[in-house]
Amino acid sequence: MFVYSIKSSKLKLVALAAVVLAALAALLLLTQGHKATVGGSTVRLAAATAQERLTFLSQFGWEVAEDPLEVSEVIIPAQFDETYGKYNEIQKAQNLDLAKYAGKRVKRWTYEIKNYPGYEKKPGVVQANLLIEKGLVVGGDICSLELGGFLHGFDFPQQVPAQLVTTAAPEPIAGQTGAPQ
């Protein structure tokens, strides 16, 4: 039988404790790196799997078709023109910033939104686009494919878009009868 003893000094114990604390801090930072405040809520940004992408969208209240409509690679421009600058303003408003990914290749996953207020009976008109890099959502939007449609961040709208609000027919001009010709 061998017995081996080590005389440890206080300095070695302090160093060991510091290494353990640093490892725990690194682990905490890694797990928190998959969360962010988007649109006023803390959400998980993980999107490496189909289930994670669906979970990401459901955090905002979106119901989407399970299968994506499209998966493509896009390159974030190295220099933003006016249009991409405006698009990045939408991203910044939801605490995401595409400037960090300028010149990089990301994947865009596009899903059909099923429960957009006012569009429930118009399948395929509203879509969610997720920009994903290394398994994390780095940007994206909710948009309408209609002419004069809309584009906004991931937040669920609090009201029906203005183009869907119907107004009463105008009153006929005095002396006119019937429907307009």
170 or 60, which is more confident: 60
pLDDT at 42: 82
Across residues 63-72, what is the average pLDDT?
97
Looking at the predicted structure, is the pLDDT value of residue 34 above 50? yes
Strand stretches in 17-164, DSSP E: 35-38, 41-44, 70-75, 105-112, 126-133, 136-144, 151-152
pLDDT tens by residue, 45-67? 999 999 999 999 999 999 999 99
What percentage of the chain carries pLDDT values higher than 70? 66
Q: How confident is the model at residue 158 (pLDDT cuts 50, 70, 90)?
A: confident
